[in-house]
Amino acid sequence: MSDTMQSPAGQEEARYRALQAVDPRAPSALETFTTGLHDESWRVRHAAAEGLRRVPDAPGVTARLISVLGERGETGARNAAAEALAGMGPVAVPPLVHLLEHEDPDQRKLAADILGQLGRPEVEDVLLRALSDDDLNVRVAAAEALGRMGGDAAARALEGLLDAPTLLLRLAALEGLASLKRAPPLERVMALVEDPGVQRSALRLLGLYAPGVATERICRALASPVRSVREAALVALGKQAVGLGPYERGELDAVARSVLSGIPGVTAHVAQALDGDDVRVRAGALVAAGALGEASLAVAVAEVAREDRLLREVLFTLGQLGPEGRRLLLGSMGTLSLPARTVAAEALVLLVDSTSVPELCALLEWAEDDLRAVVVRALGRTHSPDAVAPLVELLSDPTLSAMAARALEQLTVAHPLEALAALEAAVEQRTTPAAVAVLGRLGGARVLPVLRRIARDEDASWRAAAVEAAGRADGEAGLELARGALADESPKVRIAAVRSLGQQGGREAATFLGLALKDEDRGVRVAAVEAVGVAGAKERSPDLEALVRHGDGALAMLAVRALTKLGTVGTGVLWDALSHHDAEVVKAALPALGSAEASADGAALAMSLLGHPRWDVRVAAARVLGGMGRPECLPALQQAMSVEQDALAQVALAEAVVRLSGR
């Protein structure tokens, strides 16, 4: 035997495994697991509790567990039994309700606790009665339980307890109301904030109120020398800020600022909280930092971005810290953690002006792509001619060139000559084919000679760029170049030609696209299918219909979409698409069911898809049915709704039902 098996840990391990090996259907299982509930190790007790849940005789198990609850002195076993009961579901409810009548107050308390954990609304009344139990602990347990699961009556009862003579009850009531998200009249909570025993809970409850008086009181608590009070206040502040529209948020910030700015040392407290462990505290600290507009907090604020959940708030807060905060951030870029650095960059984008170009270019030195992407956007926003050169240079960076091209377009509005000159120079020096595309878009007919020349380049990337750019620069020349390019040996160039033809449209383009649909290269075919839709080339519909049956989901899906765009989806094609093995094809076909030609069979087809194994197909089917305006579909929708498990599909079905019945 190995040394683990003799050590206490090893013995524990052995007992743990023995329990895991027990067959829950064996007649002795109930007793074996019950013995396990009494083990000295919590891990073994946990395994026993889990095992009991799998024993088939649920009423028997429940009864046995309830009897364990009565074993005074066996705290571990009682807790494990309570845990197991809370996992038993509705079958545990009647015996627990019965246990609430037990003469031992300890048992009654446990019963209330577990009922709270079971969270069944039907026991609300019973728990309400337990609020007048003789024993304080039972009353508190009942209040806590109601706070977990109660409805209107529970909220009213808890409110009634707010001025109970016992501290414990007042606390349970406050916590319960907070967890039920029920706000009692503000004055009552405001009074309790002054009661040191319940201050923290009362503060947290204040987070449920709209900005204003409550905000003011919350913020005053940040002057407290006691850290936990300040933290409760921050949690409340964070909660108040959640989901506010810009107007209310402005109001909240104004109130917070007026109070906070008068509190000495508040910045240090906020800084400390920004670095804390509790997400809710940090969320509140962000609100406080933003309201204060305290630039010196910029770095601490950015570092909160290490917590994904607070990203949005971090970005918002950084925006509130002004130019001084921005300066500080820029200066500390090198010492920020990666997540902080990316949000800092994002916040900086919002603050750039025409003087920011050198600073932004310095940021491009950072290696992270997401950071550089942000900087590229920012360069476009500077509206400065100085940004043209760095952006043209970035066109040669494969991950950034599309973004740089868009940023350049933004700049060209203000500085067309500078941009064109820089692009032409880049093309002459063969910097990157991406420059050709931008040049074509911005230069119009005057750059055609350059494009014609490049269309004969020995490098396929340049030829492709020239063909596509010519299409944008000038229709006729574009068509001519595209026709030539369709015979190019490089698929890349043929794809460029196809895209250009799609943009042109017209009879001739449609003819050429017909050829491209039969190209040997899959990429060219995919591009051609899309281009047919873009060009509106109805005469190509038969070609597309054939592709709908293609085993390649991408081709089939694009063909359906193109046909829908052209408005030429026939019933036969629809059948093919709806029985395609790829769900994306099915989803692409569904919207076409609403069209006049298909709608007779369409409704029946869509209804059959309400039982599709994939949730996204069921959602799409429900939406289509909702839009068809055929009330005879209602029963099918309602039936589907009654069995639907998926939340999104439920919403879609409900919306469809409302639309159909509400005409």
Q: Which residues bind other proteins (CB under 8 A)?
A: 2, 4, 9-10, 12-13, 16-17, 20, 43, 46, 50, 306, 308-309, 311-312, 315-316, 319, 334-340, 346-347, 349-350, 369-370, 373-374, 377, 399-400, 402-403, 406, 522-523, 526, 553-554, 557, 584, 615-616, 619, 648
CB nearer to other proteins: give 110 or 442. Answer: 442
| Number of CB atoms found within 10 A of residue 570's CB | 15
Q: Which is nearer to other proteins, 22 or 172 (CB)?
A: 22
Rounded to whole angstroms, what are the CA distances from 480 to 219, 270, 500? Answer: 71, 66, 11
* Contact assessment for residue 322 and residue 292, using Cβ atoms and an 8 Å cutoff: no
Whichever of 134 and 308 has its CB closer to other proteins, that residue is 308
Q: How far is the CB of 198 from other proteins (least distance, A)?
A: 30
Work out how close the CB of 103 gets to other proteins at its nearest, in angstroms, rounded to a whole number.
Answer: 37
Nearest residue to 622 (alpha-carbon basis) of 663, 586, 598, 650: 650
Nearer to other proteins, 122 or 520 (CB): 520
Burial class (CB in 10 A: 0-12, 13-18, 19+), 611: middle
Smaller CB separation from other proteins, 346 or 543: 346
Structure token digits, residue 494 = 């043929």
Please state, in angstroms and rounded to a whole number, the distance separating the CA atoms of residues 641 and 621: 12
Written as six digits, the tokens of 218 are 């919350």
Structure-block tokens of residue 204: 């947290």
Residue nearer to other proteins on the CB measure, 100 or 557: 557
Q: Nearest distance from residue 124's CB to other proteins, in Å?
A: 28
CA distance 612 to 546: 25
**Cβ atoms 45, 36 nearer than 8 A:** yes
Sequence-separated (6 or more) residues with CB below 8 Å from residue 206: 189, 190, 193, 214, 217, 218, 236, 240
Closer CB to other proteins, 539 or 646, in the complex: 646
* Shortest reach from residue 369's CB to other proteins, in Å: 7
Quickly count: other Cβ atoms within 10 Å of residue 632's Cβ: 10
CA dihedral 205, 211, 270, 351 (to 10 degrees): 150
For the CB of residue 50, give the shortest distance to other proteins in the complex, in Å. Answer: 7
Residue type, 284: G
Q: How far is the CB of 554 from other proteins (least distance, A)?
A: 3
Q: Would you tell me how many other CB atoms lie within 10 Å of the CB of residue 242?
A: 10
Q: How far is the CB of 385 from other proteins (least distance, A)?
A: 22
Residue 455 φ/ψ, nearest 5 degrees: -65, -10
Comparing C-alpha atoms, which of 304, 379, 386, 384 is closest to residue 342? 304
State the number of CA atoms in the 13 A half-sphere of 203 facing the CB: 28
Of 404, 486, 477, 476, the C-alpha closest to 437 is 404
Closest approach of Cβ 123 to other proteins, in Å? 28
> Smaller CB distance to other proteins: residue 229 or 343?
343
Asked whether the CA dihedral 350, 353, 355, 357 is positive or negative, the reply is positive
Distance of CA 347 to the CA centre of its chain: 21
Q: Compute the least distance from the CB of residue 255 to other proteins, in Å.
A: 20
In the complex with other proteins, the residue whose CB is nearer, 181 or 522, is 522
- Whole-angstrom Cα distance, residue 459 to residue 453? 12
Report, in Å, the least distance between residue 46 CB and other proteins: 7
Q: Which is nearer to other proteins, 201 or 342 (CB)?
A: 342
Write down the least CB distance from residue 147 to other proteins, Å.
Answer: 23
Q: Do the beta carbons of residue 449 and residue 469 sit within 8 Å?
A: no
Distances in Å between the Cα of 374 and the Cα atoms of 300, 353, 532 are 21, 15, 35
Q: How far apart are CA 607 and CA 622, in angstroms?
A: 8
Q: Which two tokens stand for residue 515?
A: 């050829």
Q: Which is nearer to other proteins, 152 or 353 (CB)?
A: 353
In the block, residue with structure tokens 């760095």: 390
Minimum gap (Å) between residue 382 Cβ and other proteins? 13
Please give the Cα distance from 509 to 522 (Å, whole number): 20
Closest CB to other proteins among 89 and 523? 523
Which is closer to other proteins, CB of 369 or CB of 601? Answer: 369
Nearer to other proteins, 339 or 475 (CB): 339
Distance of CA 598 to the CA centre of its chain: 36
Q: What minimum distance in Å lies between the beta carbon of 153 and other proteins?
A: 30
Least CB distance from residue 20 to other proteins, whole Å? 6
Taking the complex as a whole, the smallest distance from the CB of residue 394 to other proteins amounts, in Å, to 12
Give the whole-angstrom CA distance, residue 574 versus residue 133: 67
Nearer residue to other proteins within complex by CB, 13 or 216: 13
